[in-house]
Amino acid sequence: MTDPAALGFHMPPEWARHARSWMAWPCREETFPDSLEAARDAYAAVARAIARFEPLSMVVNPGEEADARTRCGSRVDIVVRPHDDSWMRDIGPTFLIDGKGGLGAVDWRFNAWGGNFAGHAGDAAMAEGLAELTGAKRFQAPIFMEGGAIHTDGEGTLITTDSVVLNPNRNPGLTRAEAEKIFRAFLGIEKTIWLEAPLEYDDTDGHIDNLICFARPGLALALDEPDPADPHHAGLRENIRRLRAETDARGRPFEVVPLVEPRRREMDGHRLAASYINFYICNDAVIVPVFNDPGDQAALTAIAACFPGRQTVAVPGLDIVRGGGCVHCITQQQPEV
């Protein structure tokens, strides 16, 4: 098989225009114990917010169409397809474009975040199914990974974490150099920057979309914890230091905007991985989770300043983050071609 990059494909940035967004309807009781109904309401709120700005398709299991339609409203398209969980960023394809009207889709191998749960055949087949539905040329990747593990500026720079990509629970023996070669071949990446994954409790082993993201080439937003006594402080500050010391694939230094994380919240004795970085950029808007936290407004103001010309839309995040992720984790963009 010819690699996508050799055919002219690359992964565009999230802020490039979208043809539509994709989500998956919550269905797994174990993910949202005693809160599945609240999670469905929260997912529906995100879907309705995105659908104000671009088409959105919600993938639902057979028999759940009516419930999803009622909660999401008429602007959201319903697509019936079996799945096991509801994190479309991780189970859907990473879409590519070739600049000539072609749409590609990278199908990362999926083993439920390193074997977190059994019974994930529907999720593992999601990327292939959406590639077929969208008419994208499918490229089967040689490694186990999830879409939330990577973020690109669309100009050759990618950020990720060793704790996901090189984790023995996904890719035993894989080296940074080997991973970077795959990112070049499948995503058109010229430079990969490896960062820390310091969150106390993170089912993903350290997805980058909770930690740092680009707002445009040369500008990144980074999760921060200013309290030296907090276990997150050292690792988050190290990410900011490391990125400020780096240059992108085109040799430009980075401006880094810190976003102070929400105050500590726990569920079943574990700290929730609540992060303002876990937002979603759609056409003409940024959909930002808020957590009924004193820091919500400061985060919204900072994010709005980084995205001039886009509306900043706040959506409730607590009922999503109780399942382990947030707004970025439950969405996947399909770029315009």
List pLDDT tens digits, range 137-161.
999 999 999 999 999 999 999 999 9
The DSSP H or E segment spanning 180 is helix 176-187
Spell out where the chain has E strands. Answer: 18-24, 56-60, 76-80, 94-97, 103-109, 137-144, 151-152, 157-161, 191-195, 212-216, 219-224, 255-260, 266-267, 270-271, 280-282, 285-290, 311-316, 332-335
- Given this model, what pLDDT does residue 202 score? 86
- Given this model, what pLDDT does residue 40 score? 98
In the chain, domain spans = 5-335
- Given this model, what pLDDT does residue 1 score? 66
Cα–Cα distance measured from residue 15 to residue 281, given in angstroms and rounded to the nearest whole number: 6
Where residue 135 falls (left for φ over 0; alpha for ψ -120 to 50; beta otherwise) is left
Nearest Cα neighbor of 130 from 62, 86, 79 is 79
Cα–Cα distance measured from residue 10 to residue 226, given in angstroms and rounded to the nearest whole number: 37
Read off the pLDDT of residues 13-34 as tens digits, 9 standing for 90 and up: 999 999 999 999 999 999 999 9
Amino acid at 327: V
Where residue 58 falls (left for φ over 0; alpha for ψ -120 to 50; beta otherwise) is beta
Cα–Cα distance measured from residue 87 to residue 110, given in angstroms and rounded to the nearest whole number: 12
- Catalytic: which of 27, 72, 282, 329? 329
DSSP 8-state code for residue 263? P
Nearest Cα neighbor of 40 from 332, 333, 323 is 323
The pTM is what?
Answer: 0.97
What average pLDDT does this structure show over 289-303?
98
Read off the pLDDT of residues 111-133 as tens digits, 9 standing for 90 and up: 999 999 999 999 999 999 999 99
**With 70 as the cut, is the pLDDT of residue 323 above it?**
yes
Is 27 one of the annotated active-site residues of the chain? no
Task: Kindly give the interhelix angle for 36-51 and 65-72, rounded to the nearest 10 degrees.
Answer: 60
Q: Which fold has domain 5-335?
A: L-arginine/glycine Amidinotransferase; Chain A (3.75.10)
Please report where in the chains the tokens 């109780």 appear, as a residue: 322
**With 90 as the cut, is the pLDDT of residue 2 above it?**
no
